[in-house]
Amino acid sequence: MKRRLTRRDFALGAAASGALLAGAGRARAATRPIKLGSLLPRSGYEALIGQSCQRGVDLARKMLPEMGYAIEVIDADTESKPEVARTQAEKLIRDGAEMLIGAFDSGQTFAIAQVAEQNGVPFVINIGADPAITEQGYKYIFRNFPTSVMLGSHGLGRFNDLFQATGTAPKTAVLMVATDTFGQTMLKGINALMPKLNLPFQIVDTISYDPQAKDLSIEVAKAKAANAELQMVVTRLNDAILMVREMVKQKYEPMAIISPGSPGMYQTQFMKVLGKYADYAITNIPWLDPKQSLSRRFEDEFNKANPGEVCTLDAGFTFEGFLICADAYKRAGSAKPQALVEALAATNLPDRVMIGGPITFDAKGQNVNLPSGVVQILDGRPTVVLPPENAEKKPVFPVPGWSQRA
Amino acid sequence: MLYLNIIVAGLLTGAVYGLMALGLSVIFGVIRIVNFAHGEMMVLAMYGACLANARFGVDPLRALILVVPALFLLGYVLQRGLINRYIARPDHEQFLLLLAVATVITASLLMGFGPDARNVQLDYAYDSYQLGAVLLDKVRVLAAAGAVLGAAALWAFFRFTRTGKAIRACADNQVGAQVVGLDVKRLYAVTFGLGAACVGAAGCLMLLLVDVQPYIATDYTLLAFITVILGGLGSMPGALLGGVLVGVSEALSGFLVEPSFKSAFSFGLLILVLLVRPQGLLGRA
């Protein structure tokens, strides 16, 4: 018997077709690659670190599709200048970028954050430590990197772990600190935290210097004259090299050179230029977790793609930035900004590259699961030596003198 | 004794500053052109020495033999082909021309070598001599010795050779020099070549002390200006004195006051000299 099509049947059918079409639309949105705009200082005075981050972008391009994520990356160069970062962010958005990632430096990151917020485009910060970035009430900004306050407190917190693990503690330290925004924010943090952390040493002298200086002989002579047991530093890359070179020349041999969380002493160029004199330098910093399977895979791929380079946190955090974006897009099932922001806020990624618990964000868009490890250069390679659960080797402290290096 | 160490380090670095500024002073003293591409030419020489080291393992001190004539040639061609046409033009046009030359050099270096800092790995890079309580950094001693020798060679050239004397005649009285039949344009080109050779030598020596990257050029142009203005624009001994003064004052102020105050001290010294003796310490009024 032939059944007539009633109005109810028609309504039901239309609803079902609508639902099907909507589902197909969502599926299509999730399978087409999301356009991710990458902003890094690939030229200018931060170019070396920018290139180091870029290796993380290149690995994200290769590894994320293999992990089932669909991404398309558009690269942009901030030229190490905030004003260029701003115009490049605007250009990326005009070119169709649906999420932004960057930008290593706090000044440039701030400029991009303002553009992202104004345009309603989600922005995931790979590296950038100024606490103010996540204190502006921005809705589209997420940071998977510790603030300078977190870096300082976690980094200083590891000093006691190191002294306990090695059974040796210095009584005095001299602090050499760069005069840029990062250095001075760290200095404020160190001065505020030192009395609270019950550290065994006193800072007997603080020497501020220009991180773009071409000669640090006077600064190192002054540090040596302070006659302290420990050399504490907040450096960038070139100044870290100049500093160690001068320390060798001036036969200045403290118990160790330790950074509570600054770039420089774990970077390829530091080891390439200084060779055996780079060994034993210590940085307390978030690092790649040698015990995580994704981290080991990332490092293997990195070594294959970049022979002779050292896999550092720059590449690790940049890769994680892309992972966070790709994961949010996959869960959102849509490239609409609001859906992406909601998905980003709900991020919970236990499989990660860096040391720490799952990647999650607090109400301000800050990941608070970012502890520091103690990373020491051993045999020309940055090696996690503490905490014990992540360590590959035991820490060496006090370190051998310059003339005792093989 | 610590102060003695600091002063000696400042003296040694200052000698290299002096050689670098000497080139600027020679060019201005004779041609009356301010070389705004001075730092860039030094950085070019540093890359030359760096390349010679990377490709052939040549020590920067030996690379002087290659780099100094190359920079002389560059200076000669630049003056002969380009700057001579601007001699009679207003000052601001000359400045713009040399700023353009500076930009071309920096951009070419960026394209050729990229933005990375480069340096030379030397066996003796970390050596130092102990003289009583004074610790002398070997590379700094070598660089300073090279600078003093370079300055002495230049002095001897101007004092004892016919070309040197002819250049001095041009500097004293250009019209007179033309009247007695000197080829002033050729002599200008030789002078610019000599200035460039000086800065080339300073570049090779400076490479012993600092890493090179294209962006450092502007700082050195500025440093050369401070040095020659302190010593007296156009005065050869003044350039050396200015270099030593800048080196020692930076070292002492960095140690006694605050390292980040070093540059402020050099510029403060410059303002003081401009107020009290505008022609510079050894300059002619």
Residue ranges of domains in chain A = 30-147+290-345, 149-287+373-404
Cα A406 from chain centroid (whole Å): 32
Closest residue to B260, CB basis, from A208, A245, A275? A208
pTM exceeds cut of 0.90: no
* Cβ of residue B254 closer than 8 Å to a chain A Cβ: yes
Nearest CA distance, B121 vs chain A (angstrom): 7
Helices vs. strands in chain B: H and E counts, helices first: 11, 2
Q: What per-residue confidence (pLDDT) applies to A267?
A: 87
- Please list every residue in chain B whose beta carbon sits closer than 8 Å to the beta carbon of residue A43: 110, 115
pLDDT tens-place string over residues B54-73: 999 999 999 999 999 999 99
Positions of E strands within B58-131: 128-131
Res. B116: pLDDT tops 90: no
Q: Among all residues of chain A, which has the CA nearest to that of B251?
A: A218
- Please list every residue in chain A whose beta carbon sits closer than 8 Å to the beta carbon of residue B120: none
Whose tokens are 């550290």? That residue is A199
Res. A29: pLDDT tops 70: no
**Overall average pLDDT of the A304-312 stretch:** 91
Res. B181: pLDDT tops 70: yes
Tokens of B201: 């030598």
Kindly indicate the confidence band of residue A9, based on its pLDDT and cuts at 50, 70 and 90. low
Judged by CB atoms closer than 8 Å, whether chains meet at B260 and A209 is answered as: yes
Name every residue whose Cβ is closer than 8 Å to that of residue A140 and which is 6 or more positions away in sequence.
Answer: A116, A117, A120, A121, A122, A123, A337, A341
AA identity, residue A336: K
Res. A212: pLDDT tops 80: no
Q: Are A211 and A233 in contact (CB under 8 A)?
A: no
CATH topology of domain A30-147+290-345: Rossmann fold (3.40.50)
Domain residue ranges in chain B: 2-19+37-216
Nearest CA distance, B62 vs chain A (angstrom): 21
Judged by CB atoms closer than 8 Å, whether chains meet at B9 and A248 is answered as: no
Burial A174-187, CB ≥16 within 10 A → b, else e: bbbbbbbebbebbb
Q: What per-residue confidence (pLDDT) applies to A55?
A: 96
* Cβ of residue B123 closer than 8 Å to a chain A Cβ: no
Kindly indicate the confidence band of residue A375, based on its pLDDT and cuts at 50, 70 and 90. very high
Identify the H or E element spanning A231: strand A230-234
Residue closest to A219 by CA, chosen among B251, B67, B159 = B251
Nearest CA distance, B139 vs chain A (angstrom): 10
The region, left, alpha or beta by phi > 0 then psi within -120 to 50, assigned to residue A55 is alpha
pLDDT tens-place string over residues B12-24: 989 888 888 888 8
d(CA A183, CA A23): 51
- Please list every residue in chain B whose beta carbon sits closer than 8 Å to the beta carbon of residue A225: 2
Name every residue whose Cβ is closer than 8 Å to that of residue B189 and which is 6 or more positions away in sequence.
Answer: B75, B76, B77, B79, B80, B84
Residue A347 phi/psi, 5° resolution? -55, 135
Judged by CB atoms closer than 8 Å, whether chains meet at B126 and A402 is answered as: yes
Alpha helices in A95-180 (DSSP H): 106-119, 148-166
Judged by CB atoms closer than 8 Å, whether chains meet at B259 and A269 is answered as: no
Within a 10 A sphere around the Cβ of A341, how many other Cβ atoms?
Answer: 21
Judged by CB atoms closer than 8 Å, whether chains meet at B260 and A273 is answered as: no
Judged by CB atoms closer than 8 Å, whether chains meet at A221 and B5 is answered as: yes
* Cβ of residue A91 closer than 8 Å to a chain B Cβ: no
Q: Among all residues of chain B, which has the CA nearest to that of A270?
A: B117
CATH topology of domain A149-287+373-404: Rossmann fold (3.40.50)
